[in-house]
Structure 1
Amino acid sequence: MKLLCALLVFVASTSAVKNYGGYQVLRVVPQDMEQLQRLHDLYSLLEDTVDFWKEPTRLNQPVDIMVGPNLVKDVKIELSRRCLDFSIFVEDVQTNINNERCTDCVNTKAGFDYTIYHTSKQISQWVTDMAIDHGIVTEINIGKSDEGRDIKAVKISSGGSKRVIYIQGGIHAREWISPATMMYMANEMVTKYGVDSTVTAMVDNCVYDWYIVPSLNVDGYDYTWTNDRMWRKNRQPNTGSSCIGTDLNRNYPYKWGGSGTSDNPCSDIFHGEAPLSGIETSVVHEWLQQFSGNIALFIDFHNYSQLWLYPWGYTNKKNIEQPHKDLQHDLAIRATDALRKPYGTEYFVGMSGPDMYPAAGASEDYGYVTLGVSYSYIVELRDEGNYGFLIPEDWIEPSGIETFEALKVLGTDTLPIGPPIPEA
């Protein structure tokens, strides 16, 4: 009862820039099915009040819970009451935020620095500059966000009519390593074109045009720089609610509104008022229709947890028919084998819903069924446990290097079409 009372009186900070001093991230690792069920029960109780960085999924998989200073004591008591052992994963979230960026480093790089984080405005300018500086790059303006920012993509192509590889980053605003990795990989592709035979083949010899959206959720990302580093959703107002934002990765049309979503506009996993009600998902969906039946590969890059996942995402059941599962799994294994080589980084490969957590209306199912893409993935980038969402800048380059090794496998594969896609 004490915990519930505390939840009812919880009031979010109203300061211009939210300070996460005193916020802790608690980690629980369920050892048996009984503990996992207790964590599911706790998640149902707390999901709209505390921030589950990692939700309850499977045995021996960490569950990370960010808790504000006014609730830390009560949540720890509740965990103990449920006989759930916990450790402190992050002692003070604000300290990690402060250490995320190397503010006193000397930048010795000419031009755009791919080893630091960049603002929304800088990323937008980067797209324009890439098209100016490289003949194989075209600037694509997909449309406008809710706050009027341009949602941009780079197209990398040597010309002609080809099948499409579409990758996107930054659908969740706080996952900064995702846009940074997208830009790093795009730069690797265009600067090594004509120099590295594999990279040249990705653009010339194979049958793909590359479309890379570095930051889909441009409004939310901008907000993480100006107001709240841990903001997740977009910044679109909700009808009849003072709470802002839709979780864009719950807003896609396939199985919209199902498991792993919320109809509470204040929740971080609010699925929106209707399928594709998010301005950003709607705009990109309309733009992608021009490639109908011609998209070979769809990847949505997130962080964290080091996972390479394929449909189904809407359910935690593994026995539901998914005719491309073996093809998707085999390709992901080859990609993650290549990813491992530079630094030994291990990725788990599996089905999104059963092996991570169910999330209806998410991108991997949308790519697979709505767009009809045989190879549709959601990838959770670094890391597994040191920093969570707050990956320090000196990890950007390693993330870009290793993930590009996976991309080279994907971009030089013929990606044959598998069995028919299930009906939406």
Structure 2
Amino acid sequence: MKLLCALLVFVASASAVKNYAGYQVLRVVPQDMEQLQRVHDLYNLLEDTVDFWKEPTKVNRPVDIMIGPNLAEDVKIELSRRGLDFSIFVEDVQTNIDNERCTDCVNTKAGFDYTVYHTSDEISQWVTDFANEQPLVTEITIGESYEKRLIKAVKISSGGSKRVIYIQGGIHAREWISPATMMYMANQLATTYDTDPEVKLMVDMYDWYIVPSLNVDGYAYTWSNDRMWRKNRQPNDGSFCVGTDLNRNYPYEWGGTGASPNKCSDTYFGATPLSGPEVFVVHNWLQQFSGNMALFIDFHNYGQLWLYPWGYTGNRNTPQPDKTDQDTLAKAATAALEAQFRTSYFVGMSGPDMYPASGASEDYGYGTLGVKYSYVVELRDEGRYGFNIPESMIENSGIETFEALKVLGTDPLN
């Protein structure tokens, strides 16, 4: 079969934008443990050749596979050969990309538009402008990316010495709804402090540090070259394949299950822990808050999941003394979120309930930084749009996620 002997060929162009016309997303829902194992076997065979948008995790949990037209027939034959039913969940990925942004819309709001997607340069400028315009906001420069872009954060504080809440977005470049939601929530924190008693309590109780876009190089690349790019843009020695999966590059349980040593894989874990410059500089910067951080959240999409450690193992019985408290608080937060637009979220353990991923952020927050309430959140949606959430959904994503943040930010988080 062509599928089994296909060579991975990487062609990069400084000017060409990759076109996803004819790319489909297949959805497989394993019905029992035997089928789940067959999907796992297929994943192990294909993970470096096709893009698994959702990896195999549990019985009755969807597995989403993006395939190009050159491999579509072979993958479908292979699924059928293994007795795995599938549906075509996204007929044409390029159509979703084309419909993601509202090119004919006119911004009738004064100032920065929080309901559209913004480039990496625009986000960077927003941090500066936001800090200049809002008295509670300070611009923070964490460090530089591989391509020497500044990685910026906003600090939102009413003054004094307080415990810290840290949230970040955009560690995976193609997940555009994440930076957009981070900026929306930052704006709500800063601009409703005087009018919303809950927000005042949040800002008076904690110092908030928000990184809208951690993977600034990868994010810029999704605008210029490849909308579906995931990793950073750091070259790999001895390989033509570029990039490290920054969310497999954290030092806690680095290099284990759910992370790949293959430099061409989307889950390549990097040469060493913290070898990704973006993770390295944020790790160094976060050390100043050692013992004083109340909450750590890394926002992704998609799947509508609110997850807590451990992520490095699928073993639910691995000792984790705070999971009951983490679960209770997450369920309270997602209940507030769901009350807005009935967006349903699953709450659970990252590894056992989604899939094991070693060297990931939520384990780093909990295991390395010692933050009791450390979460990874998969924002909208459940797969209809996947990574290409239309701009029309940005505002609702911001509104509902901020309601969850209100629950967390008004809690003592002991």
Considering the TM-score relative to the shorter chain, is it more than 0.5?
yes
Task: Give the corresponding residue for 1:327.
Answer: 325
Task: Give the corresponding residue for 1:280.
Answer: 278
Q: Distance in 2 between matches of 1:14 and 1:299?
A: 34
Task: Give the corresponding residue for 2:398.
Answer: 400
User: Alpha-carbon deviation of 1:241?
Assistant: 1.2
User: Alpha-carbon deviation of 1:13?
Assistant: 4.9
User: Alpha-carbon deviation of 1:2?
Assistant: 3.5
Amino acid at match of 1:35: Q
Residue 222 of structure 1 aligns to a residue whose secondary structure is: helix
Q: Distance in 2 between matches of 1:410 and 1:76?
A: 44
1:23 matched to 2:23? yes
1:360 matched to 2:358? yes
Amino acid at match of 2:171: I
Confirm or deny: 8 A CA contact 2:10 2:240 kept in the other structure. Answer: no
Amino acid at match of 2:254: W
Task: Give the corresponding residue for 1:291.
Answer: 289
1:60-99 equivalence runs, <5 A: 60-99=60-99
User: Alpha-carbon deviation of 1:68?
Assistant: 0.8
User: Alpha-carbon deviation of 1:12?
Assistant: 4.1
Q: Distance in 2 between matches of 1:218 and 1:124?
A: 9
Residue 392 of structure 2 aligns to a residue whose secondary structure is: helix
User: Alpha-carbon deviation of 1:385?
Assistant: 2.2
Q: Distance in 1 between matches of 2:96 and 2:203?
A: 39
Q: Distance in 2 between matches of 1:14 and 1:99?
A: 25
Q: Which aligned runs of 4 or more in structure 1 are off by greater than 6 angstroms?
A: none
Q: Distance in 2 between matches of 1:36 and 1:27?
A: 13
Which string of whole-angstrom CA distances, capped at 9 and with x for unpartnered residues, describes residues 97-147 of structure 1? 000000011221111000000000000011001110111100000011000
Residue 126 of structure 1 aligns to a residue whose secondary structure is: helix
Task: Give the corresponding residue for 1:379.
Answer: 377
**Cα RMSD after superposing both structures:** 0.8
Q: Distance in 1 between matches of 2:11 and 2:46?
A: 18
Residue 154 of structure 1 aligns to a residue whose secondary structure is: strand
User: Alpha-carbon deviation of 1:311?
Assistant: 0.2
Task: Give the corresponding residue for 2:57.
Answer: 57
Q: 1:213 aligns with which of 211, 214, 220?
A: 211
Residue 377 of structure 2 aligns to a residue whose secondary structure is: strand
1:147 matched to 2:147? yes
Q: Distance in 2 between matches of 1:396 and 1:385?
A: 16
1:222 matched to 2:239? no
Amino acid at match of 1:392: P
Gaps of 5+ in 1: 417-424
Task: Give the corresponding residue for 1:170.
Answer: 170
Which string of whole-angstrom CA distances, capped at 9 and with x for unpartnered residues, describes residues 303-332 of structure 1? 000000000000000011000000100000
Task: Give the corresponding residue for 1:117.
Answer: 117
1:202 matched to 2:216? no
Q: Distance in 2 between matches of 1:239 and 1:112?
A: 41
Task: Give the corresponding residue for 2:269.
Answer: 271
Residue 280 of structure 1 aligns to a residue whose secondary structure is: helix
Q: Distance in 1 between matches of 2:108 and 2:37?
A: 52
Residue 413 of structure 1 aligns to a residue whose secondary structure is: coil
TM-score w.r.t. length of structure 1: 0.96
User: Alpha-carbon deviation of 1:62?
Assistant: 0.6
User: Alpha-carbon deviation of 1:384?
Assistant: 0.6
Q: Distance in 2 between matches of 1:66 and 1:284?
A: 31
1:309 matched to 2:311? no
Which string of whole-angstrom CA distances, capped at 9 and with x for unpartnered residues, describes residues 3-26 of structure 1? 212x22x43454521111111110
1:233 matched to 2:231? yes
User: Alpha-carbon deviation of 1:273?
Assistant: 0.2
Task: Give the corresponding residue for 1:419.
Answer: none
1:157 matched to 2:157? yes
Structure 1 vs Structure 2: percent identity of aligned residues? 78
Q: Distance in 1 between matches of 2:356 and 2:162?
A: 34
Task: Give the corresponding residue for 1:300.
Answer: 298
User: Alpha-carbon deviation of 1:60?
Assistant: 0.9
Residue 331 of structure 2 aligns to a residue whose secondary structure is: helix
Task: Give the corresponding residue for 2:36.
Answer: 36
Amino acid at match of 2:99: N
Amino acid at match of 2:328: D
TM-score w.r.t. length of structure 2: 0.99
